[in-house]
A and B are shown apart, each in its own frame.
Chain A
Amino acid sequence: MNSATYNIYTFDTFEKLVDRFVASTGLYFPKLSEGKDSFFKGFYNWLSAEKKNSNFALIAPEPSQALSLPNPAQVLYSALKPVINSPSEDCIFEYLYKYGLDPSISTQPITTLSGGEMLLLNYAKAEAQADYAERFIASNPIFWLNSSRYHYWLNLKELYSSKQKSIDVIVLNGDTYFDNTDSENDFNIKPLEFKLSIQEPKVCFPEIRFPIYHAARAISYKCHKEIIVKSPFLITGDNGVGKSIFSGMLSSIVDINSGNLSVEAINGAASCRLVFQEAVSQCFALTPEILISGVFCADYEKKLLAQNFFQRLISEFNNHEELQMSDNNIYTLLSLKIALIAERLADKPALLLLDEPGWGLSCKDAQLLVYKVALLAHELGIALGIVSHQPTWHKFAASKLTLKRLSQNEVDIEYESFKFF
């Protein structure tokens, strides 16, 4: 009889975490931060290597990676098929419901799910696989979750333990749940004010009729006010409430169907730039230097400025051994994030939004990065917003916007300024 073990492995960089995941699962997981040459080399090696099937339940370092099929219904149907001959729709809904997911997302394309929803779907899939998976390997299994949903992880852990199956958890140092060794540093940032005007913005997502029907959806932010917001500020709320959509609207990448949402800095700037959750994809698989050179190819002055910001921020991580190797063209997720931030700071927008800045970084690195970026941004008159559900960021924030779901299609926004600033 197997004796179930529960192991937690912590790492200080995302790259080391990925190495461990690959070693544990035998599954190739490309490190896009190392650039395209490294990707093609790794992919070629994977193609020419002998394949070993790893019959594990997985949560990959990027939660979407272990969800190979197009929508939640198909993911769960396939995971359940070996156990139940023909899983019914009700059975699939039951699994979604069990992990706090609305059954209406069953036909929604995976890529449009929020980070938290994707992780919960991974949980539901892992539960469906519990009977036949040899073990459960989960990397960053809590990161995307709001603390009110941590109990889903406990349920899953209990299930695997009761079936005598081992669980390996791979996390980054300072993970809020598994390695809560939060630094006691004081982050003194002088607040910067800017004007945020919210006039009941509404976003509509049209119905999808092909290949699978998915009903139209709309999110209406029920808030009509002008606020003087203190930066750095936090945009927070439950999983799937619409934080990323709100930041998308602010940065004009999500079209607003009615109402309005705008920012205005003291210096008159009115634009907002966003660093996505998926910083790796946002780099277009380019290395930091090429990214900055490409964006500013027609503006030499801004290019120098961006390069200067990049060097300034990267020098804050002098003790970071991976970054020290950048002379040999080895890049990390951290250096990519810094490049994206430097590029945006050189543009001097009114507001810079960092969507889940801690993803793929150890707690220490994430906090240092956000602190240094806040200081630099305020020096330039740029406000900084952090989009996250993680409690860690409260100590940085001079104020916060909390998004609360009023109904299926309505979200309320509450503003709170912290007195100690």
Chain B
Amino acid sequence: MNRLNFFKIHLVKPFWLRFIIFIIVGLPLFSNFPALFISQILSKFFNPEFALIISYPLISFFIWLFCLPSLGLNKFLDYMSAAFLMALTTVITSSLLQNLFPFIFMENAYAASVRLLRLYFNVLAVFPWSLTFINSFSPDSIINALTQLRTPFREAGLHFALALRVFQHVGTVVSKLLLIWKERYPSLLVMRHTGENKKLKFIFAWVRWLAYSVIDWVYASIILTFEPIPAMVNEFEILSERNKKNDFSEK
């Protein structure tokens, strides 16, 4: 078990080294360069088009391996189920839009398919990577470490710590809202009160309900995530100021 600790990214110290490792591992998610580089190597063994296609799942697989030891199998599978849901929704919607409005997407079918494939594997990798990233840093230890830095870096670091905490808070908000939603609509995706509507009328009502539910979720998530920010800002600034004073008095 202890041997596995070596691979747990959230235990890497100091925190800036952990940050750098995360950025390096996550680079393929933001730049096409690593995929092209891998496909160039693979093209020595395979057809270049196939090499490019296979480079995307390879990168995703590498990122999953990177996150797995920290997350543990259960949490990893939880994140992956959400990632698959999101990836499929994104790709199916994009594909539908592409077929409905071909004049907007001026690209040939092959290029469009490769783009969708890349999008699919990117979403599958971004989800566990970003959640591992967000939860691997503790805002209070960042604030404590920042007291030794000079002003411009301190300011930037404080903003980073706050942003991190806000992102961490999103997870709590979503699970809280899910519980509330479950109490209101036990079937989650169907309204509780359907009345005596016939089939067609029911489908119409359901689509309308679903659309409003999405809007409600977006607003509620934003509002409940933003709600504690003023208190967080105040607390982070006090902590930073206090630690700084303490640090100077020790010197």
Contacts and interface: CB of A to CB of B under 8 A. Distances in A.
Interface of A: 27-30, 32, 36, 39, 43, 46, 51, 53-55, 60, 64-66, 68-70, 74, 77-78, 81-82, 85, 109, 111, 132, 206, 209-211, 248, 251-253, 273-274, 276, 278, 281-282, 284-286, 294-302, 347
A65 B228 contact: yes
Interface in B167-203: 168, 172, 175-177, 179-180, 182-184, 186, 191-195, 197, 202
A206 B165 CA distance: 24
A298 B209 CA distance: 8
Nearest to A297: B209
Interface of B: 10, 70-72, 74-75, 132, 135-136, 138-140, 143-144, 165, 168, 172, 175-177, 179-180, 182-184, 186, 191-195, 197, 202, 205-206, 208-209, 212-213, 216-217, 219-220, 223-224, 226-239, 241-243, 245-246, 250
A253 B186 CA distance: 8
Contact of A77 (B140, B176, B192): B140
B232 A68 contact: yes
Contacts of B71: 209-210
A295 B195 CA distance: 12
Contacts of B250: 85
B231 A60 contact: yes
A51 to B, nearest CB: 7
Given A68-B236, A77-B140, A81-B243, A302 B193 contact: yes
B227 A82 contact: no
A252 B179 CA distance: 10
Report whether over half of chain B's contact residues are helix, strand or loop; otherwise say mixed.
helix
Contacts of A74: 138, 140
A295 B75 contact: no
Contacts of A27: 230-231, 234
B206 A298 contact: yes
20 contacts: A30-B226, A30-B230, A53-B241, A69-B165, A77-B140, A111-B176, A209-B72, A210-B10, A210-B75, A211-B10, A251-B183, A252-B186, A274-B183, A284-B180, A285-B223, A294-B209, A294-B216, A297-B205, A298-B194, A347-B192
- Select the residue from B132, B231, B233, B242 with max chain A CB neighbours within 10 A: B231
A361 B232 CA distance: 26
Given A251-B183, A252-B186, A302 B195 contact: yes
A211 B136 contact: yes
B193 A296 contact: yes
Contacts of A347: 192-193
A43 B195 CA distance: 39
Nearest to B195: A299
B229 to A, nearest CB: 8
Contacts of A36: 219, 223
A206 B206 CA distance: 35
Contacts of A78: 140, 143-144, 239
Given A32-B227, A294-B212, A81 B144 contact: yes
A28 to B, nearest CB: 4
Nearest to A276: B180
Given A70-B165, A78-B239, A111-B175, 10 more contacts: A27-B231, A55-B238, A66-B231, A210-B71, A210-B132, A274-B183, A297-B205, A298-B193, A299-B195, A347-B192
A81 B242 contact: yes
A82 B212 contact: no
Contacts of B180: 276, 281-282, 284
Contact of A209 (B75, B136, B172, B239): B75
B177 A298 contact: no
B202 A82 contact: no
Given A43-B226, A68-B231, A299 B216 contact: no
B182 A82 contact: no
A298 B216 contact: no
A403 B71 CA distance: 36
Contact of A65 (B175, B216, B220, B231): B231
B211 to A, nearest CB: 10
